[in-house]
Chain A
Amino acid sequence: MSAFLVNRLLQSIVLLVIVSIIGFTVLNLMPGGPLAQFGLDPGMTQKDVERLAAQLGLNRPLWMQYLDWAWRLLQGDWGHSFRDGSSVLTVIGRHLLATLLLMGTSTAFAIGVGAWIGIRGATHRYSLFDYCATVGAMVALSVPTFWFGLIGIYIFTLKLGWVPAGNMYTIGDGSVLDYLHHLILPSLVLSLVHVAIWSRYMRTATLDALSQDFVKTARAKGVSERRILLKHVIGNALLPMITLAGMQLPSVLTGALVTETVFTWPGMGRLFLDSLGYSDYPVVMGLLIFSAILVLLGNLIADIVIATVDPRIRLA
C-alpha cells in the first residue's frame, strides 16, 4: 500500500509539472498579454507599458519566467495577482466559499434526487417512470448548461418573477433565507447534469444489488422490500458513491464556470474567466494547479477506496 502511494505521488508530481508547463506555454503564447488592457488608455505611453512589463518580469525569456514561477511555488509562494497585487492564494480564497456553497447545494440535491430516481427506476424496471427517467437523463446530458440557465431566467425570473436573476445575496440583507432564494435557480441548473449521472449510476448499482444472492436470501426470510433497499442496496452502493463524488471534485472549477457566468455568481469559475480576460497569469496558473491537484486527489481517493472495498483489485 505504501509503495503504491509513493509511486502514485511521484507520478502526480510529474503530472503537475507537465500540466504547469503546458498551461504556462499556452497562456504565454496568447498574443496580447496582461498589458493589453491599457492599450486604449490615452495617457499611458509605450514607455509606461515597457516599464510595467519589466516590473512584472514579462520581458524575460519564457523558460526563465517559468522556472522562477515554479521555484517560488515549490517554496509555497503562489505569486501575486498582476491586477491588484494580492497573493494568489488570497485571491482564490476570496472566491472559494461562493463556489463551495453553489457546488455543495447542487451536489447534495443531485445525489438526493438522482438516487431516488435511480432506485425507483430499478425497482420499477421498464415502467413508464423508468423509461421517462432514462430518456430524461439522456436529454439532460445533452442540454447546454448555459442555455438551460437562460431559459430558467426567462421563465422563472422574467416571466414569473419567482427568483432573482443572479447574485449570491441582496446587499444589506444576507439572511439564510435570502441566500437560499438566490441559490435555487443556479443550483438547479447546475445539478441537472449531475442528477442525470447519479440517477443512471444508482439504477445500475441497485439492479446489480437486487440480483445478488443476499438479497434473495433476505427476501426468502421475509424481510420487507423497504428494509432490503435501505440496508443492502443503498449500503452496498454507498462506497462507490463516495468514489464517484470524489471523481467529481475537480468540477468545482469547471462545472461552475458557465453557470457562474450566467448567474453572476462570485465564485472560482468567474474568477477564472475574469483572470483569463485580464491575462492575470499568476491567478490563472494558480487556479490551474489548484484544479489539477483536485483531480489527482480525486483519482487517488477513488483508487484507494476501490482497493479497500474490493481486494481483488491489485494496487500498483
Chain B
Amino acid sequence: MTKGSATTSSYSRRDALRMVAIGGAAGLIAPNLLGKPAHARTSPTKPTGRVIVGLGQEPTVFNPLMVHIEVDDGVHFSVFDALFRIDPQGVIQPNLAMEVPNQKNGGISEDGLKWRIRLRDDVRWHDGKPFSAEDVKFTLELITNPNFRSWRTAGHALVRDITVVSPTEITWRMEEAFAPYLSFLTETFIVPKHILEKEANPNNAAFNQAPVGTGAFKWSKRVAGDHLELVANTEYFGDGPHIERLVFKYIPDLTVLYTQFKSGDIDLVGQPYITPDHYGEAKTLPNRVVTLVPRTSFESFYLNLERPQFKELAVREALYAAIDKEAIIQGLYYGVPTPTETFMPRQSFFFHANLPLHQFDVKRAGKILDQAGWAKGADGIRAKNGVRLSFTNSTTSGDPLREQVQQFLQQTFAQLGVEMKISNLPAAVMWGDFWVQSQFDSVIVGSSYLIGADPDVTNRLHSRSIAAKGGRGSNNAQYANPEVDALLDKGARTFDPEARRAIYSRVQELVRRDLPFLPLYQSNSVEGLKKGINGFVPNGNTRTESWNALAWYWAS
C-alpha cells in the first residue's frame, strides 16, 4: 500500500462485500482513514515541503458544484469534503458524515425512501466558522436551483423535504428509491452557506475563484494558464495534511509533461498521466516510482446500431473477430491497457470475470459474413440487400494513438471486404450533437460508464436513454434490449450488494452477447511520482490522482 504499488489484487472481493454490508460500522472504527498509510507515524508532525502535480488540462472551476471537467476534481478533493468518500476498494467511507447510512443501521429506511445522515461536530470552514447541517441543506438545494449552473443533477432531483434536525443531523425523503445516490454523494462536495447565500448570482461569485472549504488544503493563489497553489489547513479535523504546499501545474503538451517529470520539475504526473509510449522508459528512471493503475474508463469500437450496416448481429460479431486486440494493446499501446469484454472495470465488485473471451480470427470473421449472406461485390466490398459494408469511423483529432488504431483496423477490415473510412473531428465538435444525437456510423471512444463506483448504467444502456429518440441519457449506440431495461430498473431500486451483483452480471452477459459496442480494453493510467513521496495511493474509483493529497508526505 505504501510503496505506490497498491492494486486491488491484494484485496479480495469477499472483503469488499463484507465492508459494503457493514459499511457504517467500518466507518465508525476508522473514520477518515482514507488511504492513510500504515506507518503514518513517520510522517512529519508539522506540514512540510511541497508537491507539484502536473496536469494536461487546466483546472478552472473551483466551485465544486458548478459544471466542470475531470481535471478540476483534484482541487475539489483537496479543498472540500463530501459527506462520504470512496476508497480504492470501492467501499464508501464517511467523510463529513459520522457513518455511512444503510438499511441495517437505519440511516436508510427499508423502502429506500427516507435518509438520515449524522454529521461530525468538529469541522470548521477555512474562515473559522463552524460547519453544520445547514451547509448540507444549502448545498443540496443549490444543486437543484434552476438559476445555478450546476453539474450533475441526477439523483439530487429526487430529493425532497430536506430537514435540519440539529446542527449534526439532517434528513430527507427520496421521490423514488434510488440506490446509486449514495455513490453520487461521494462526488458532491459541501459548500459554505454563510458565504454563498449572500451572493446574488452564485454563477459569478467571488467564491468561485477563491474557494473556502473544510478540506485539508486552503486556497492560496492562482497564475492563470500556469499553476495554482494550495496551502495546508493545519486545523483540519482529520489526520493530515503533511505537506505544506500542494501545487497543480498546467502543462498542455503530454510530451512536455513527461519530460518535466523526468527532469524533476514536477513531483507527480496527474491526468492524463504518462503516455503509453513513454511507459517503458519511465519504468527505468532512477528515483521515480511508476505504476499502472486501473481506471474505470472503457475503450470500445462503438457502433450506431440504427445504421443498416450494423443492425445484424453477425456483422458485429465478424467485425469483433477481425480486431487484433493483442497487436493493438501490445504493439500500439505498449501493453499498458488490459483487454476486457465488458464496460465494468475489473476492480469493481460487480465485474463479471467469466464472459466469453474474444479471439482474433479474420478467417472466422469472413465465414460469419459469408454465412449471413454478405458477399463481396465487384468493388471488393461486401454487400447484402443493397447495403454495402462500408462505414466511417471517427475519433477526436489530435490523438495519435487512437489514430494509429484506426489506421491499423482500416487495414484489417479491408482484408475482410469491409470498407472503413476515417473522419476525425475536434473534441469540441465530436462530443456535441454528432455524438449525443447518434449522427456517427462508428467511433472509437474511451469513457467511464460508472458514477463513483456504482454499477448503475441506466444512462448508457437503457432504451429510455437514447437521446436521438427523445430519451434523456447517453445511450448513443441506440441499444435497446427489454431484458436489459428491466434489469437496470430493478438494479437502481435494489440496495443489497449481493442482489445487485446478480443483476449487473446478467446485464454484462447480455451486452457481451449483443455487442452494441466492440469491447477493446480497460484503461490503466501510468502514474508516476518521485520516490520520496509517501502516502500516495491511487484510486480508480475517483477521477483524480489527488483524491487523498492529505495523506502525502516527503520522506525525511
Contacts and interface: CB of A to CB of B under 8 A. Distances in A.
A76 interface: no
Interface string B47-62: 0001010000010111
Contacts of B450: 42
Interface string A155-168: 00100000011111
Contact of B225 (A43, A85, A94): A94
Interface in A163-194: 164-168, 170-172
B152 A43 contact: yes
Interface stretch (A48-56, A119-127, A207-215, A285-293): A48-56
B224 A43 contact: no
A46 B247 contact: no
B224 A95 contact: yes
B474 A46 contact: yes
A32 B434 contact: yes
A277 B224 contact: no
A127 B375 CA distance: 73
Interface stretch (B89-97, B127-135, B424-432, B516-524): B424-432
Contacts of B259: 157, 165
A84 B433 contact: no
A266 B430 contact: no
B252 A264 contact: yes
Interface in B417-457: 425-436, 445, 447-451, 457
A26 to B, nearest CB: 13
Contacts of B256: 165-166, 264
Interface stretch (A33-41, A229-237, A307-315): A33-41
A94 B228 CA distance: 13
A268 to B, nearest CB: 9
A200 interface: no
A31 interface: yes
Contacts of B505: none
B153 interface: yes
Interface string B142-174: 000011010111100000000000000000000
B44 to A, nearest CB: 19
A261 interface: yes
B184 interface: yes
A184 B209 CA distance: 32
B153 A277 contact: no
Given A45-B459, A46-B467, A86-B209, A39 B474 contact: yes
B151 A278 contact: no
Given A30-B428, A42-B447, A46-B436, A266 B225 contact: yes
A35 B467 CA distance: 15
B448 A36 contact: no
A154 B278 CA distance: 17
Given A51-B153, A94-B224, A36 B204 contact: no
Contacts of A172: 50
Nearest to A56: B149
B327 to A, nearest CB: 26
B405 to A, nearest CB: 18
Nearest to A32: B432
A44 B70 CA distance: 13
B208 A85 contact: yes
B260 A165 contact: yes
B153 A47 contact: yes
Contacts of B151: 43-44, 48
B226 A37 contact: no
Contact of B209 (A55, A84, A271, A274): A84
A170 B431 contact: no
Interface residues of A, number: 55
Contacts of A32: 425-426, 428-434
Contacts of A83: 60-61
Interface residues of B, number: 65
B280 interface: no
B66 interface: yes
Contacts of B430: 32, 36, 39
B451 A42 contact: yes
B69 interface: yes
Nearest to A279: B428
A40 B460 contact: no
A267 interface: yes
B223 A39 contact: no
A140 interface: no
A42 B428 contact: no
A244 interface: no
Given A42-B449, A55-B149, A266-B226, A84 B208 contact: yes
A51 B157 CA distance: 13
A47 B472 contact: yes
Interface in A191-233: none
Nearest to B257: A264
Most A-side CB within 10 Å, residue of B147, B223, B434: B223
Nearest to A98: B225
A277 B56 CA distance: 14
Contacts of A40: 431, 435, 445, 447
Interface string B196-213: 000000011100110000
Contacts of B276: none
A279 B247 CA distance: 27
B227 interface: yes
Contacts of A56: 149
Contacts of A274: 58, 225, 252
A277 B427 contact: yes
A261 B247 contact: no
A297 interface: no
A30 B154 contact: no
Interface of A: 30-33, 35-49, 51-52, 55-56, 80-81, 83-87, 91, 94-95, 98, 157, 164-168, 170-172, 261-262, 264, 266-267, 270-271, 274, 276-279
Given A40-B445, A44-B154, A80-B203, 15 more contacts: A32-B432, A33-B432, A42-B449, A42-B450, A42-B459, A43-B187, A46-B474, A48-B152, A84-B61, A85-B203, A86-B204, A86-B209, A266-B226, A270-B252, A274-B58
Q: Which 9 residue pairs across A and B have the least CB separation, nearest first?
A: A266-B225, A39-B431, A32-B432, A36-B432, A94-B224, A32-B429, A43-B152, A84-B60, A266-B226
12 contacts: A36-B428, A39-B436, A40-B431, A42-B447, A43-B184, A43-B459, A44-B151, A45-B154, A46-B436, A83-B61, A165-B256, A171-B52
